[in-house]
Amino acid sequence: MRSNTCPKCAGSMVIGFILDHNPQSSRRSVSSWIEGAPVKSIWTGLKVDSAKKRDIETWRCSKCGFLESYAR
């Protein structure tokens, strides 16, 4: 497993993700990064091109709580 060092306090960072929870459908998913500006849709709220979608991994410093995200 990779490990990152916190840029704020040099503590050790632990990998995780930001939970995206929809209370209407009780669905849980990982937050995503989408290329470009958000485009509104009357059907789904926002239009999303799945080819431009990347899951976000977020590292958390176990010492100070700083979060650092990557969309690889």
Q: What are the residues binding Zn ion (CB under 5 A)?
A: 6, 8-9, 11, 61, 63-64, 66
Name the residue nearer to Zn ion (CB basis): 59 or 61.
Answer: 61
Name the residue nearer to Zn ion (CB basis): 10 or 39.
Answer: 10
Q: At its nearest, how many Å lie between Zn ion and the CB of residue 16?
A: 14
Beta carbons of 51 and 42 less than 8 angstroms apart: no
Q: What is the identity of the amino acid at 53?
A: K
Name the residue nearer to Zn ion (CB basis): 41 or 69.
Answer: 69
